[in-house]
Each structure stands twice: as C-alpha cells, then as structure tokens.
Amino acid sequence: MTGARHLYVHLPFCASRCGYCDFVTVVGRSGQHAAYVEALLAELELERTALSPRLESVFLGGGTPTLTEPAALERLLHALPPADEVTVEANPETVTPELAALLRRAGVNRVSLGAQTFQARLLDVLDRRAQPEDVRRAVRILREAGFDNLSLDLIYGIPGQSPDDLEADLREALALEPEHLSCYELEAKPGTRFTHAHGEELARQADALETYFERVVATLTGAGFRWYETANFCRTEERDLRSRHNLAYWRGRDYLGLGIGAVSTIGGSRWRTTPRLGVYLAALAAGQRPPREIETLDAPVQRSERVLLGLRLDEPLSLAGLHGAVDAEALERLERLGLVERGDDELALTERGRYLGGGVTAELLA
Ligand SMILES: C[S@@+](CC[C@H](N)C(=O)[O-])C[C@H]1O[C@@H](n2cnc3c(N)ncnc32)[C@H](O)[C@@H]1O
Ligand code: SF4
C-alpha cells in the first residue's frame, strides 16, 4: 500500500451556529484553538504512516478554519505536509488582508468562500453573519494577496428565494469571476433549528427546486463554466480548475481525515473520529489515538460507492471491476430512456440523467 495522497483537516470553531448546519462545530472556545492545533499535529504523527510521502491535496474545512486564532492557524499550516493543492474554507467576514497574507505565506493556493447568497434578507434566513458586501470585499482582498484559485459556495432553495433572487445570486457570483463555484440545494438536516422552523416549507418546494437546479446549470454553463460534478463548476482555461481534493472523494481514492468528527477511508476501512472536543484533546494529550467508529467496507459496498460517486462526474466511469455493482436490466432500461450512455466498458449519465442524478444511479445499482 502506498498510502493516502489526500489529507482533510477539520477546524471546528465558529463564531455562532448557522441554523441549517449540522457539521461538527464548536462555538467560541478561542482559548482552546492552540491546544486543538497541537492535538491535530499529534494525531498527524500517529497516522503519518497512512499517508503517501507525496500529497496531492490538503483541505482545511470546518467549522470556520479562518476563525482559528492566527498564530495557531499559521503553526498548523506550516507543520502540515506540502501538497499540490492546499485549500482553506473561509467565511467572508473573517477575511482580512492579514489573514490573506498569512494563508499565502503558509502555502495555501486555493480558498473556498462560503458566500451562500447575495440577498441580505436570505442571508438573514440562513443566520449568516456576512453581508453581501463582505463577500465582495473578501474576494477583493484575496485577489490583492495574489490568490488565483477562488471558489464560491452558493445555496439555493432558501425559503423565500424567488427565481429572480437565484438569477441575481448567479449574476453576482459570476461578476466576481471565481475560478470555481459549488451550488448546493439547501438540505433540511434532521435536528437542526432550521429544519424545525422551515422543514415543511422545504418539503413543499421540493419540486420547484428541480427547475432551480436547471437554471443553475444553464446559467453557469452558458457563462462558460464546466459542469464537472453534480454541484460543482469550474472555469475552463489552460489550467485544470476542478477541486483535486473533492475529485479524490468522487473517484473513490483513499484519504486521511484529522480532527474531531473527521472521516478517513483507507484500504477498505472507514473511520470517524469522536466529535467530542474534550475527549479528542484528552486522548491526544495522553499520546493516544482518540476514539473512533470503524466500519469495514466489503467489496460490494466499495463497488456500489464507486458507481454512486463516480457517476456524479462528467467523465465516464470505467466499469473495470465494477460489473457486479450494476443491474444489467436497469442499465438497458435507463439507456433506452436516454438517461445513461454506455461506452467501451465505461458508463456515464447523459445530460438528462445528470439532472435526475442520484435517482438514476440508485436504480442502476444491482
Ligand atoms: C463545511 S460547510 C461550511 C463552511 C463555512 N463555515 C461556511 O459557513 O461558509 C461547506 C459548505 O456546505 C454547504 N452547506 C452547509 N450546510 C448545508 C445544508 N444544510 N444544505 C446545503 N448546503 C449546505 C454551504 O454552502 C457551505 O459553504
Ligand atoms: S455553516 Fe459554516 S459558519 Fe455556519 S455553523 Fe456551519 S460551519 Fe459554522
């Protein structure tokens, strides 16, 4: 085994909790940032043999990585192994010239900004702290610092969002000329404040969201973006601007995750580290691995995952080794319906199939 070439690092701290979010987050606790970073680096040492000597991608996700106390964030970034693509997720209101300079100094070459929407009243519905102007300012600051690979996250399907609001969001996002855009349909995560308040409305508007998705794809591909994954778009230049880190997930590559709640998948085994900050810090301070939930992925599960994830991409999925995972009758039916295309031992969804996405793939699975 050569080791994983992709590393995820979870930085859970947030200034407040957005109602729709169910990621592993910790509000406040700025006094614990430095201790958390030391724990991450101790965990890295314990797991280092699982990593390849040469990494393709490092991704710092959150939480709000850019809220991490600057000295701790800088120490972490300098201590992590180098990689071709180093991405940090940033909340717009946290981006300052000092932060941008810190990220550049520390070798970060891609920033993913959580814009979500440019409509102040919809930002309010989402409990976001940033105002539309914060997103524009953050992009300006990052450009001035020299970043040439920026991604914006947008969310659609926000209660109260009209088709015109969506068009305005896409227009505003495009005006900022990002290299990459991720557009997610708002999901009602069980147990969140948001689902409690708006769950029924989200269920009612589910059908309308199909046309929203079509608008997103039509507008962004019309503006010259490549729709390379169900929810992800990149500019097409000489450079390949797809997210190398996320491509690794969709292609079923091994990855190591560090930090609370982080998931790793290596050599047919998947584990999730405890989401509890205190338990995590105590274990690593004692030189021990933090508790984790481990799942063994048997071969049929691995094959089904490869099909489910691989068909999200706009490149054909090689069926070598995956034949057992695909239902031959369903494949013929979906091909007749014009939802799936078969090549020489490979498979892809057609454009119509990609709009229907997961439903088509689920039917394909044996
Ligand atoms: C790890 S999250 C948050 C990163 C960062 N803290 C922020 O808020 O911008 C990454 C992205 O997931 C998306 N996201 C989070 N919760 C979601 C939900 N319930 N439905 C759809 N997208 C969601 C948002 O677009 C967000 O930018
Ligand atoms: S959406 Fe982002 S900022 Fe809001 S609570 Fe979740 S991780 Fe934190």
- Residue of higher predicted confidence among 5 and 358: 5
Query: Is there an atom of ligand 1 within 6 Å of 114 CB?
Result: yes
What atom of ligand 2 comes closest to residue 114's alpha carbon? 2
β-pairing, 232-235 vs 180-185, is antiparallel
Give 14 Cα–ligand 2 centroid separation in angstroms. 6
Give 353 Cα–ligand 2 centroid separation in angstroms. 32
What atom of ligand 2 comes closest to residue 129's alpha carbon? 3
SS3 for 155?
Answer: strand
pLDDT the model gives residue 190: 85
Give 1 Cα–ligand 1 centroid separation in angstroms. 33
Hey, which of 135, 139, 153 would you mutate to test ligand 1's pocket, going by the most ligand atoms within 8 Å of its Cβ?
153
Q: Indicate the range of 31-40, 138-147, 263-272, 318-327 predicted with least confidence.
A: 318-327
Q: Is the pLDDT of residue 1 over 70?
A: no
Query: Is there an atom of ligand 2 within 6 Å of 113 CB?
Result: no
Nearest-angstrom CA–CA distance, 244 and 291: 29
Query: Within 13 A of 104's CA, how many CA atoms are on the CB side?
Result: 17
Longest dimension (CA), the chain: 60
Q: To the nearest whole percent, how much of the chain has pLDDT over 70?
A: 100
SS3 for 161?
Answer: coil
Provide φ and ψ at 144, rounded to 5°.
-60, -30
Query: Is there an atom of ligand 2 within 6 Å of 23 CB?
Result: yes
Ligand 1 atom 1 nearest Cα = 62
Nearest-angstrom CA–CA distance, 127 and 116: 11
Read off the pLDDT of residues 276-313 as tens digits, 9 standing for 90 and up. Answer: 999 999 999 999 999 999 999 999 999 999 999 999 99
Q: Is the pLDDT of residue 224 over 80?
A: yes
What atom of ligand 1 comes closest to residue 116's alpha carbon? 25
Q: Using CB atoms within 10 A of its CB, is residue 224 exposed (0-12), middle (13-18) or buried (19+)?
A: exposed
Read off the pLDDT of residues 70-102 as tens digits, 9 standing for 90 and up. Answer: 999 999 999 999 999 999 999 999 999 999 999
pTM: 0.96
Q: To the nearest whole percent, how much of the chain has pLDDT over 90?
A: 84
